[in-house]
Chain A
């Protein structure tokens, strides 16, 4: 438990992706079975306990210590699990620190009454960090800033000969914690575990961003198919051996959140497509889809108000046949027949966009026809002869995003970054002009961005922030932002949504700093009204 606790502790304060990878990989190398397997399951979100409910913990701690002292402590720390971990008045005794696997075994087997007694014993035996880790493990959702995919990648790279993460992902749903067969294979001590598991996730094929200046000259338009890149989330819909599943492109199982989509899957096979909210065959905005995402349970009202469906891009399996080895042209032909067979309004086809030349396609991208294409993020180019290959191979698939929206906004606040950037003010809140209640022209924040600039530009902005600070609030500085004195950013973003959480009433999708306008007087930056007009146009499509 001690090594696992230290791992979680380090992960929770580490910003760098590479450093996280090192931490997890080293842990998996140094920790014996079955502990490391349980840890991996916890990190990938594949471990949960029903009998362990955190509510009794507070009661247990208050039975052991003065309620006022506990309250002052909680008030100071601000997080219940952390407070309990720190203040827990351990009863002295010959307690031995439990191993992670002991905890997992006991929690899986124990009744609720037993669990309370066990947990109190463990809390007595563990250090504060160990207690914190235990409480996080029990309550599920470690929230240490590690994606399941990164955990799997660390596993893929733990052995003497690293394997591609896609191989681990493909196996994943056929494996069971604590994954002793997986580790044996990765360490070269055993066979590759079988991936023949109906209903499993297949690692997704991703596209490279096209470099217009370089790539088009080398590509023959006749080799490529084009289709819209829809603005939802990429999913895999699986119906195999009676198992119906919906996965995100990283292999997270979201079937429970989308029963309407799962129930629509009739034909046996695996579709790669875009999850969208669709009303009468018309795609709704991403904001509508967000109403459905990240929910544990769904009710009838939500299902009726935000009906979801899949717009199909590709066919990865048909019946028992793995179609990924076939060329795209053949897969597409089969996909069209497959979607027709499904005959469900929730599953439709992403139509191909025929074109003769690259300029033709450029014209289509610049000016999408009315209707659904207005919501597309851009175009996808797929080689007709490409097989379906996990990962992001260079060449067979390209994405060609639409040009972003641009506005000029004024830097208002800057916040210190993390990790490598902790000595830099690297996270910027920017605003546009509006009129306040008294009719005065003021800036109102419209977004926050922390990338899009070079390291050299970061140094310059950092210096500007330090030289023009008005006030400091912990890690945040407010910066001079007046009509004739301030810094203007050209901000690029992918779309706008209405927001009740932001004072300005708008929220940007994927904002980043496109250009630093050292030359532009802040007074000439954009008005909030400009954004409102953009939003109205997007909604009125």
Chain B
């Protein structure tokens, strides 16, 4: 009888696969790693070999330089690779460009590690593909019933209404540099905003990378050059930390916006001095988390990080045995 814990088990470095001798998203350097996506807390430099999608490898090279791992192996979505007698297939997770779920098969047992994921449409990456499995290993960043992300088009419409209402001010939108920023830009384009979008220097390389992968971001301009008055009525996108930093003083009376699932909670917005919270998240909200478990009906649900207890309780109430792995090292604040 093959037990799931013989295939994957939590270790301080991350989720470990003993029969294939590799880790998934390890938080410390290891000999063999499978990386689900390019966010810094999941994709770290210094591993021996790294298996990931070509987009994720590209993102890691952009961030850490070409020597980020001793060797790399690119696996396109759906393409199975062997790690000893374990088969690993990367399947779209819908989180950011290149993001994947790791489907791990061994002796008739299928386990799916979701990585970070969402279920709704994202113009910058392919949609999440549900894979039937014995064990689904889910994230739970937004694993509380208070998190119900609204339609992102409505959030963008609110932003554009505010731009029209305050033409003498600049709208400074905090967005995580990988994924969120490009998604916001795409959504603005889809909503008809054709003007140049001003970006913080920290976003430029990743924007260029997205463009190379066929995501058309439209006209972009540097937010670092120019006079104060040039930014009146304009939209500036910057990493969340920069919106409150001294850097932001170059803009005319900015309306500080922040695109994040955490913005659903008013106190969070107030605490960060956010005037226009945009509830746009790259993670599954409560309905997506529970809906996915319901759709897959796995034999067991494991939960890697986030608010595990609430999702575990929900799963058990709905007849799916669940356990929290309480993996540490995955940030939850800025990449919401």
- By a beta-carbon cutoff of 8 Å, the part of chain A in contact with chain B is 6, 10, 12-16, 19, 22-23, 26, 65-66, 68-70, 72-73, 76-79, 82-83, 86-87, 89, 127-128, 416-420, 422-423, 474-475
Let me know if A128 and B276 touch, CB within 8 A. no
Let me know if B165 and A23 touch, CB within 8 A. yes
Q: Which of B248-294 contact A (CB under 8 A)?
A: 248-249, 253, 255-256, 264-267, 269-271, 273-277
Task: Quote the shortest CB–CB distance from A426 to chain B (angstroms).
Answer: 11
Q: Mark B195-237, 1 if CB is under 8 A from A, else 0.
A: 0000000000000000000000000000000000000000000
A83 cross-chain contacts in B, Cβ below 8 A = 146
A66 cross-chain contacts in B, Cβ below 8 A = 313-314, 317
Let me know if B310 and A72 touch, CB within 8 A. yes
Given known contacts A22-B166, A23-B165, A69-B313, A79 and B267 CB-to-CB distance under 8 angstroms: yes
Task: Quote the shortest CB–CB distance from A463 to chain B (angstroms).
Answer: 9
- Nearest chain B residue, comparing its CB with the CB of A27: B165
B314 cross-chain contacts in A, Cβ below 8 A = 66, 69
Complexed CA–CA distance, A216 and B158 (Å): 52
Let me know if A475 and B271 touch, CB within 8 A. yes
Given known contacts A72-B310, A73-B145, A127-B150, A82 and B276 CB-to-CB distance under 8 angstroms: no
Let me know if B265 and A419 touch, CB within 8 A. no
Let me know if A15 and B317 touch, CB within 8 A. no
Q: List 9 A-B contacts (CB under 8 A).
A: A10-B276, A13-B274, A19-B166, A22-B166, A66-B314, A69-B314, A73-B144, A416-B273, A422-B248
The 9 A-B residue pairs whose C-beta atoms are closest, nearest first, are A422-B273, A86-B146, A87-B145, A73-B146, A423-B248, A13-B275, A72-B310, A73-B144, A73-B145
- Nearest chain B residue, comparing its CB with the CB of A15: B275
Let me know if A72 and B273 touch, CB within 8 A. no
B265 cross-chain contacts in A, Cβ below 8 A = 76-77, 82, 86
Let me know if B165 and A26 touch, CB within 8 A. yes
B246 at the A/B interface (Cβ < 8 Å)? yes
Q: Which of B11-66 contact A (CB under 8 A)?
A: none
Task: Quote the shortest CB–CB distance from B71 to chain A (angstroms).
Answer: 41
B244 at the A/B interface (Cβ < 8 Å)? yes
B309 at the A/B interface (Cβ < 8 Å)? yes
Q: Looking at chain A's contact residues, is the secondary structure mostly helix, strand, loop, or mixed?
A: helix
Q: Which of A10, A15, A418, A475 has the most C-beta atoms of chain B within 10 angstroms of its own C-beta?
A: A10
Complexed CA–CA distance, A69 and B256 (Å): 32
Contact count A vs B, C-beta below 8 Å: 87
Q: Which of B146, B246, B247 has the most C-beta atoms of chain A within 10 angstroms of its own C-beta?
A: B146
Task: Quote the shortest CB–CB distance from A310 to chain B (angstroms).
Answer: 39
B333 at the A/B interface (Cβ < 8 Å)? no
Complexed CA–CA distance, A528 and B264 (Å): 44
A72 cross-chain contacts in B, Cβ below 8 A = 144, 307, 309-310
Complexed CA–CA distance, A14 and B277 (Å): 11
Complexed CA–CA distance, A10 and B275 (Å): 7
Task: Quote the shortest CB–CB distance from B160 to chain A (angstroms).
Answer: 13
- Nearest chain B residue, comparing its CB with the CB of A90: B148
B317 cross-chain contacts in A, Cβ below 8 A = 66
Complexed CA–CA distance, A82 and B276 (Å): 17
Complexed CA–CA distance, A83 and B266 (Å): 10
Complexed CA–CA distance, A26 and B167 (Å): 13
Q: Which of B95-133 contact A (CB under 8 A)?
A: none
B194 cross-chain contacts in A, Cβ below 8 A = none
Picked from B146, B158, B275, the residue with its CB within 8 Å of the CB of A14 is: B275
Complexed CA–CA distance, A417 and B144 (Å): 31
Let me know if B275 and A416 touch, CB within 8 A. no
Task: Quote the shortest CB–CB distance from A21 to chain B (angstroms).
Answer: 12
B255 cross-chain contacts in A, Cβ below 8 A = 19
B295 at the A/B interface (Cβ < 8 Å)? no
- Nearest chain A residue, comparing its CB with the CB of B146: A86
Let me know if A422 and B244 touch, CB within 8 A. yes
Let me know if A13 and B277 touch, CB within 8 A. yes
Given contacts A10-B276, A423-B246, list 20 more A-B pairs with CB under 8 A.
A23-B165, A65-B145, A66-B313, A69-B145, A69-B310, A70-B145, A73-B144, A73-B145, A73-B146, A73-B310, A76-B265, A77-B146, A83-B146, A86-B147, A86-B148, A127-B150, A128-B150, A128-B264, A422-B244, A423-B249
Complexed CA–CA distance, A19 and B273 (Å): 15
B165 cross-chain contacts in A, Cβ below 8 A = 22-23, 26
B84 at the A/B interface (Cβ < 8 Å)? no
B256 cross-chain contacts in A, Cβ below 8 A = 422
Let me know if A13 and B270 touch, CB within 8 A. yes
Complexed CA–CA distance, A42 and B319 (Å): 47
- Nearest chain B residue, comparing its CB with the CB of A66: B317
Q: Which of A65, A69, A128 has the most C-beta atoms of chain B within 10 angstroms of its own C-beta?
A: A69
Complexed CA–CA distance, A83 and B307 (Å): 16
Task: Quote the shortest CB–CB distance from A28 to chain B (angstroms).
Answer: 13
Q: Which of B148, B253, B270, B273 has the most C-beta atoms of chain A within 10 angstroms of its own C-beta?
A: B273
Complexed CA–CA distance, A15 and B269 (Å): 13
Picked from A6, A15, A69, the residue with its CB within 8 Å of the CB of B158 is: A6
B144 cross-chain contacts in A, Cβ below 8 A = 69, 72-73, 76
A127 cross-chain contacts in B, Cβ below 8 A = 150
Task: Quote the shortest CB–CB distance from B96 to chain A (angstroms).
Answer: 25
B248 cross-chain contacts in A, Cβ below 8 A = 422-423
- Nearest chain B residue, comparing its CB with the CB of A16: B253
- Nearest chain B residue, comparing its CB with the CB of A73: B146
- Nearest chain B residue, comparing its CB with the CB of A76: B144
Task: Quote the shortest CB–CB distance from A75 to chain B (angstroms).
Answer: 9
Task: Quote the shortest CB–CB distance from B273 to chain A (angstroms).
Answer: 4
Complexed CA–CA distance, A493 and B307 (Å): 48
A12 cross-chain contacts in B, Cβ below 8 A = 266
Task: Quote the shortest CB–CB distance from A8 to chain B (angstroms).
Answer: 11
Task: Quote the shortest CB–CB distance from B124 to chain A (angstroms).
Answer: 25
Let me know if B148 and A128 touch, CB within 8 A. yes
Task: Quote the shortest CB–CB distance from A377 to chain B (angstroms).
Answer: 34
- Nearest chain B residue, comparing its CB with the CB of A12: B266
Let me know if B267 and A423 touch, CB within 8 A. no
Picked from B158, B271, B276, the residue with its CB within 8 Å of the CB of A474 is: B271
Complexed CA–CA distance, A285 and B247 (Å): 47
Task: Quote the shortest CB–CB distance from B334 to chain A (angstroms).
Answer: 15
